[in-house]
């Protein structure tokens, strides 16, 4: 019930951002918001759960490097089992025509709620996103990630998740 209300509110906010962004379109779009939903720990039948989340990227802080275009990201997710993960880290972006390949690494804080015990409050997320430009300021994509504590805790079961993403630049 809670997740259903949360999804409805998130969709309302997303549609509001879309209309605001259309009014403010310029050639200097420097903020990207991503909203995503999917399945947390899909490979564990006992603890898999629906997830929903957001991510922010400020393109004023991106840099072209030997490793590609790098930029800081910050975001969070919550599962239907009230587990939550808040993170900040870095992503690289590689563009091939209208396709974007975006690997990222983000350390963060995990709270298990009624969900899976990942073994430690500090967890690390590695992710690969593939997205398609749909307009000058929007993208749709798919991503896969793995969250693990790198053996900081007594146990390290990890969690594998997949998400469907919507990106909007402002």
Residue 53 lies in a domain: yes
Cα–Cα distance for residue pair 128/103, rounded to 1 Å: 4
Residue corresponding to tokens 């402002």? 170
Kindly report the number of other CB atoms within 10 A of residue 82's CB atom. 14
Q: pLDDT of 84-130, one tens digit each?
A: 999 999 999 998 988 999 999 999 999 999 999 999 999 999 999 99
Residue 27 lies in a domain: no
Residue 26 lies in a domain: no
CB–CB of 41/48 below 8 Å?
Answer: yes
| Beta strands 49-58 and 31-40, pairing class | antiparallel
Read off φ and ψ for residue 117, nearest 5 degrees.
-80, 110
Say how many domains are in the chain.
Answer: 1
Provide the CATH number for the domain around residue 50.
Answer: 2.40.160.20
Q: pLDDT of 29-67, one tens digit each?
A: 578 899 999 999 999 988 899 999 999 998 778 888 887
Domain of residue 98, residue span? 2-21+32-169
Residue 92 lies in a domain: yes
Confidence (pTM): 0.80
Which residues have a Cβ under 8 Å from the Cβ of 44 and sit 6 or more positions away?
116, 157, 159
Containing H/E element for 150? none
Residue 97 lies in a domain: yes
The encoded tokens of residue 74 equal: 């910050």
């Amino acid at each position: 019930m809670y997740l259903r209300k949360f999804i409805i509110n998130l969709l309302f906010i997303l549609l509001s951002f879309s209309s605001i962004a259309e009014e403010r379109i310029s050639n200097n779009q420097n903020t990207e918001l991503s909203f995503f939903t999917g399945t947390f720990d899909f490979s564990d039948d006992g603890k898999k759960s629906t997830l929903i989340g957001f991510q922010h990227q400020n393109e004023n802080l991106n840099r072209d490097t030997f490793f590609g275009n790098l930029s800081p990201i910050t975001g969070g997710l919550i599962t239907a089992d009230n587990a939550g993960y808040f993170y900040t880290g870095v992503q690289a972006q590689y563009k091939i025509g209208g396709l974007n390949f975006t690997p990222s690494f983000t350390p963060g804080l995990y709270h298990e709620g009624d969900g899976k015990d990942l073994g430690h409050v500090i967890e690390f997320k590695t992710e690969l996103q593939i997205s398609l430009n749909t307009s000058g300021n929007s993208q749709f994509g798919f991503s896969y990630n793995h969250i693990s504590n790198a053996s900081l805790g007594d146990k390290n079961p990890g969690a594998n998740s997949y998400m469907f993403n919507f990106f909007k630049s402002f």
